[in-house]
Amino acid sequence: MPMNTHQDNALSRRDFIKTTGAAATVSALAGVALPSVHAAGTDVIQIALVGCGGRGSGAVGNALQPKNGPIKLVAMADAFEHRLQSSHDNLSRQFKDQIDVPQDRRFVGFDAYSKAMDCLKPGDIAIFATPPAFRWVHFTYAIQKNLNVFMEKPVTVDGPTSRRMFQLGEESQKKNLKVGVGLMSRHSRALQELHKRIEDGEIGDVILMRGYRMHGPVGFFASLPKPPEMNELLYQVQRFHSFLWASGGNYSDFYIHHIDHLCWMKNAWPVKAQALGGRHYRQSPDGITYVDQNLDLYAVEYTFEDGSKFNFDGRCMTGCKDIYSSYVHGSKGLAIASKNSDCGLPSSTYKGQNPKRSEMIWESKVNPDERDPYVNEWNDLITAIRNDKPYNEVKRGVEASLVTSMGRMAAHTGQEISYDDILNSDHEFAPGLDKLTKDSPGPLVADAKGRYPIPQPGIVTKLEY
């Protein structure tokens, strides 16, 4: 699929989202609608896993729940053989009868994704759990193969890939493909009820929202210099949280859930953001300087079209106070959206602005069978596939990813960034990812000390580094 080109006249937020996919050039992917398959739960749905890390393996486990009917994992792909093998061994122990991935259906390398999807038939499911930079590459191929998709968040990391994914989302809808995006908060039954209560005016007009994810370093947030013997590209892919091109950094990968579900409570996406951010203790315990691109802390103020605000604070630092929760303030009361973690139970509402038990209006009580939103999102997707109901979360997934990138760019540049600014940005962090091989250079080049370029707010103001 050809890349979208930046238009001379900047697109407005509304105009772009309205006209995406109606471009003059007709995509080669538009074509015959996908026939209804797997109807009435009579057929086995086959799955291919692309990206065999913890989240990908977890998604397979969620997919193979008994409620979802006959489902089998039949192919796996990853850039790292040891990670694929570990995932296969663990899944085989847990779901012995539903794992059918012999050695000739285990693929390693940057072209492994297509080989794994070639093992499926139209209407089967491809799971994308690689670093998000590769979403558009893998999704393009899935659409060509008439495959349903579950893709992890974020789905984009910059403006050019967001424009591309908006168009791919429309192509997938034309083909009647069912696509789930791993923003599981939308499938939390507690948050669904809270959303309805806020819509019905239980806490009045939404005037302020607050989100916090503050804890010690996790994942690949921080990285030491690349070992001399390791391939540069594989180093950056393996430690994807450390690099903006691969994941949008920790801001995009860690914080998107709160950004998504709080904007959902408002039924709106913010139009602009301004932010602070900083790097502090950037050395390992033995004195070696970390070389990743992340800031240690972020404080972002999002503004909505009606002037209301959403403040998000993120921090990855040891020894500081941990806060991991989200709140909605209305003109008549307060809601706790997530009590702990990305969408932790219970959600609740209160009279006034203090969460006192005596002022509580409502507290969520969820059916035990539907307490896990990771399972719910798979049940919802499989139900849509088996009953051939419309189900496509791509547009919302791209919007959430884009708004997250907007806040990140505001912190990294020290400028106020609008939705239109990030949407129309020319800066694609890593063009040409559909042509990568193991011998390709890494998208980022380190200096003589092994350090990668970092954001310099106020100095580098047009790009993020």
For residue 292, the enclosing domain spans 188-370+403-435
* Phi/psi at 296 (5° precision): -75, -30
- Residues 258 and 340 placed together within one structural domain of the fold: yes
Q: How far is Cα 18 from Cα 321, in angstroms, rounded to an integer?
A: 43
Q: Which of 344, 336, 343 is nearest to 363 (CA)?
A: 336
Residue 343, CA distances (Å) to 187, 262, 278, 449 in order: 10, 11, 27, 41
Domain total for the chain?
2
Last residue of a domain, one of 338, 360, 392: 392
- One-letter amino acid of 247: S
- Residues 300 and 430 placed together within one structural domain of the fold: yes
- Residues 218 and 91 placed together within one structural domain of the fold: no
- Please count the CA atoms within 13 angstroms of the CA of 316 that sit on its side-chain side: 19
- Residues 322 and 302 placed together within one structural domain of the fold: yes
Tell the burial category of 417 from Cβ atoms under 10 Å away from its Cβ (0-12, 13-18, 19+): buried
The structure's pTM equals: 0.91
> Residue 305, Cβ neighbours under 10 Å: how many?
12
Tell me if 3 is assigned to some domain: no
What would the DSSP string read from start to end of 316-377?
Answer: E-TTSPPEEEEEEEESSEEEEEESSTTTPSPPEEEEBSS--GGGEEEE----GGG--HHHHH
CATH of the domain at 343: 3.30.360.10
- Residues 244 and 123 placed together within one structural domain of the fold: no
Q: How far is Cα 442 from Cα 79, in angstroms, rounded to an integer?
A: 14
- Residues 216 and 154 placed together within one structural domain of the fold: no
- Residues 316 and 292 placed together within one structural domain of the fold: yes
Place of tokens 């047009």: 462
Looking only at Cα atoms, what is the longest distance across the chain? 63
- Residues 125 and 194 placed together within one structural domain of the fold: no
Which is it for strands 272-278 and 417-418: parallel, antiparallel or unpaired?
Answer: antiparallel
CATH of the domain at 137: 3.40.50.720
Tell me if 452 is assigned to some domain: no
Tell me the β-bridge partners of 330: 206
Tell me if 456 is assigned to some domain: no
pLDDT in tens, the chain (465 residues): 333 333 333 344 434 333 333 333 333 344 344 444 554 445 899 999 999 999 999 999 999 987 878 999 999 999 999 999 999 999 999 999 999 999 999 999 999 999 999 999 999 999 999 999 999 999 999 999 999 999 999 999 999 999 999 999 999 999 999 999 999 999 999 999 999 999 999 999 999 999 999 999 999 999 999 999 999 999 999 999 999 999 999 999 999 999 999 999 999 999 999 999 999 988 888 889 999 999 999 999 999 999 999 999 999 999 999 999 999 999 999 999 999 999 999 999 999 999 999 999 999 999 999 999 999 999 999 999 999 999 999 999 999 999 999 999 999 999 999 999 999 999 999 999 999 998 999 999 999 989 999 999 999 999 999
- Residues 141 and 287 placed together within one structural domain of the fold: no
Tell me if 4 is assigned to some domain: no
- One-letter amino acid of 329: H
- Residues 211 and 338 placed together within one structural domain of the fold: yes
For the segment 295-352, what is each residue's pLDDT rounded down to a tens digit? 999 999 999 999 999 999 999 999 999 999 999 999 999 999 999 999 999 999 999 9
Which is it for strands 45-50 and 125-128: parallel, antiparallel or unpaired?
Answer: parallel
Tell me if 449 is assigned to some domain: no
- Residues 39 and 150 placed together within one structural domain of the fold: yes
Q: Which of 310, 309, 275 is nearest to 295 (CA)?
A: 275
Residue 81, CA distances (Å) to 53, 77, 235 in order: 11, 9, 14
Which is it for strands 206-215 and 323-330: parallel, antiparallel or unpaired?
Answer: antiparallel
> Residue 323, Cβ neighbours under 10 Å: how many?
14
Tell me the β-bridge partners of 322: none
Tell me if 56 is assigned to some domain: yes
> Residue 344, Cβ neighbours under 10 Å: how many?
16
Length of the chain: 465
- Residues 351 and 364 placed together within one structural domain of the fold: yes
Q: Is 27 helix (H, G, I), strand (E, B) or coil?
A: coil
Tell me if 8 is assigned to some domain: no
Tell me if 51 is assigned to some domain: yes
Are 64 and 95 within 8 A, CB to CB? yes
Q: How far is Cα 398 from Cα 164, in angstroms, rounded to an integer?
A: 10
Radius of gyration of the chain (CA): 22
Q: Peptide bond before 154: cis, by omega within 30 degrees of 0?
A: yes
